[in-house]
Amino acid sequence: MKTTFTYRILVLAVLLAPILSSAKSLDRTDPWPVLNAITHKHSYTIETRDRKCAFGTLSEVAADHITADVYTSIASASPDTVIFPRADVLRVAIGSTVYYSGRSSWSDVSSLQVLGRERLMIVMKNGKTHKVKSPYTVSDDGITVNNSRKLAKISKGEIAQVYAIVMKPLTNNREYFMEELGPLIIFDPDLYAYGLHLEQYVRVLLYDDVESEDDSSVQCMKEIILSAPSPAPR
């Protein structure tokens, strides 16, 4: 009888092990595919790990590289097609808004400025998630949020991941028209959602506690060309 009871306990433990394991593990999704979720008809700043900068539009996002039409020098009259291996890409951004980060950086979390309905998403090691809107304060040891008129401190040691939830960019042309039309954008079918604040957002991973932390300075904050890799062979 005792043997049968022990056997049942062992069977139950084996069956529950995968469930308990998955409950404790966090969903660490690949941040790279976000580059296929945003428009390829907007100009981005691409910074590589050797601190070279390029400015142009994305033409292809593959599993191990991106292809972009970029201006490889200030004097370039037309863009060149350049292949950037994923391993070399540090970040893809528009100004200070990052859409892909190839590093885990607490300084990127600290320097993030959420605008409008954008948010900071904090994933805790215990699996809980907090979506934080401004105002909040990021310090070396955690994030202080204003929750129902009360300050609450989330310790960095309790945080597994931090994401920026940022608005999807418009195409270059639509962005220009939105600036020109002002409030009249509600009469433009393509911009109607933005006029009613129904725009779409993407989730960008900025910090992951399982990765080595890199808080070095970013070089390509402005949309200018400093240097770029050699063009892809034609």
Q: What are the extents of the domains in the chain? A: 27-208
Using a 10 angstrom Cβ sphere, with 0-12 exposed, 13-18 middle and 19 or more buried, the burial of residue 114 is middle
Of 174 and 160, the one with more pLDDT: 160
Average the pLDDT over 181-185 and give the result. Answer: 53
For the stretch 24-55, pLDDT in tens is 455 667 999 999 999 998 899 999 999 999 99
Whole-model pTM: value is 0.75
CB 88 within 8 A of CB 104: no
- Is the predicted pLDDT of residue 179 greater than 60, yes or no? no
- Is the predicted pLDDT of residue 23 greater than 60, yes or no? no
Would you state the pLDDT for residue 219? 84
Euclidean distance between CA atoms 154 and 129, whole angstroms: 12
- Is the predicted pLDDT of residue 18 greater than 80, yes or no? no
Confidence of residue 3 (pLDDT cuts 50, 70, 90): low
Would you state the pLDDT for residue 36? 95
- Is the predicted pLDDT of residue 230 greater than 50, yes or no? no
Confidence of residue 215 (pLDDT cuts 50, 70, 90): very high
Would you state the pLDDT for residue 135? 87
- Please, which residues have CB within 8 angstroms of residue 171's CB and are 6 or more apart in sequence? 39, 41, 42
- Is the predicted pLDDT of residue 198 greater than 60, yes or no? no
For the stretch 85-139, pLDDT in tens is 999 999 999 988 999 999 999 999 999 988 888 899 999 999 999 999 888 999 9
Q: Strand runs (DSSP E) across 14-157, as ranges?
A: 43-48, 53-61, 65-70, 80-85, 89-94, 97-101, 119-124, 129-132, 136-139, 142-147, 150-155
- Is the predicted pLDDT of residue 17 greater than 80, yes or no? no
Average the pLDDT over 182-186 and give the result. Answer: 54
Residue 229 tokens, joined: 């890799």
For the stretch 138-173, pLDDT in tens is 999 999 988 766 788 999 999 999 999 998 887 665
